[in-house]
Each structure stands twice: as structure tokens, then as C-alpha cells.
Amino acid sequence: MSTTVQGVDARAYLAGWLQMVTGMTIADINAIPDDKWTAPHGGCARTANALLADTVTNLLWTTATVKGEESDAYNGMDALAEKFADKAAGVAAFAEASAGLAAAITAADDEALNRTVMAPWQMPAPVFTLATISVNHVWYHDGQFNYIQGLLGDGEVHWMA
């Protein structure tokens, strides 16, 4: 049996998935105790606030790229990590950056999304591919926030609550 799907709105699905993983991530961030938010966890592991800065940096860069703008967002990641020592400030900036990318994705035309650009990590790819990577990059870092919870003895799945 063969089924053909017609009318799938890739922009809406990607923006919707971004909003879903953003909510999941915020729930997990909020479950990390405030006194552990900036704590190192050994080895070369980054702190939770640094992971959030990485996430927001990527969202900001990708939003500019979807809009056809240049971005130096990656130059500000360390400053964001310092700003995000205040967890509430980090969560607010994350929610705003996520909403910004979702809006940019839904507003972009086919030409903008099909344009190939060079990502900061030296990977040439179509903008839609980079937007997809950015959305899943949020989920990737949510996994790291979950791991931090586990290191702290918290085994609850907070984003399912």
C-alpha cells in the first residue's frame, strides 16, 4: 500500500516542534536547583548556564540566517553565559530567541530556505537544513540538562509533567 502526503506545511511543523522542545527544555532548566545552575560537574563539562548560552547563540545565528542577515552571535556566547548566571534571565532570553526563530521560519519564503550558506562550524547547507539542525540542537541541549539533573540525583522526567 502506498500513501502520498500532500499539503504538509514543513515550516509550521518545524516551528511547532521548536516550540514543543523549548517548553520541554524550560521545564528541565527549571528543575535544576538554582545553586547548581552555574556549578561545574567535573572534567571538561560545561555548566548549565553555558549550555543555555550555546543554545541561544545558535538560535540567534539561525534566526538571522533565515532572514538573510549576517550574524556575529557566536562572538557573544561567553557574555551570554555570564548573563545567564541569572537563570530567569536565561530562560526569558531562550524563550524569546526560540519564538524569534519560529517566526522567522514561518515567514521565510522558499528561496530564503533553499539558499545554501556556510555555518559557523564550516558546514555548507541549505538554510532549511540549518534551521532543522538548530531546532534539534535545542533538544540535544535539553538532554544535557536532563543529564545534569541525573548527576544531581533527580531522575524525574520534568518535561512530561
Q: The domain containing residue 73 runs over which residues?
A: 15-37+45-153
Question: In this model, does residue 19 exceed pLDDT 80?
Answer: yes
Classify residue 5: in a domain, yes or no: no
Kindly report the pTM of this predicted structure.
0.93
Q: Is the pLDDT of residue 2 over 80?
A: no
- Please check whether residue 1 lies inside any domain of the structure: no
Q: What mean pLDDT do residues 114-130 have?
A: 97
**pLDDT at residue 1 in the model:** 46
> What residues pair up with 118 in beta bridges, in sequence order?
124
pLDDT digits (tens, 9 = 90+) for 47-95: 999 999 999 999 999 999 999 999 999 999 999 999 999 999 999 999 9
Mean pLDDT across 30-45: 94
Question: Of 96, 108, 98, nearest to 69 (Cα)?
Answer: 108
Is residue 86 helix, strand or coil?
coil
Is 6 within a domain? Answer: no
- Structure confidence at residue 5 (pLDDT): 60
CATH of residue 94: 1.20.120.450
Q: Is the pLDDT of residue 130 over 90?
A: yes
| Domain-located, residue 161 | no
On whether residue 9 sits in a domain, the answer given is no
Cα separation, 128 vs 107, in Å, equals 12
76 belongs to a structural domain: yes
The pLDDT-based confidence of 161 (bands split at 50, 70, 90) is: low
Instruction: Give the Cα separation of 84 and 50 in Å (integer).
Output: 8
Cell of 5: 502526503
Domain count, the chain: 1
What is the rounded CA–CA span in Å between residue 33 and residue 87? 10
Query: Residue 8 contacts by C-beta under 8 Å, 6 or more apart in sequence?
Result: none
High-pLDDT (> 70) share of the chain, %? 96
Radius of gyration from C-alpha coordinates of the chain? 17
Among the listed residues 25, 12, 30, 27, the one whose alpha carbon sits nearest the alpha carbon of residue 54:
25
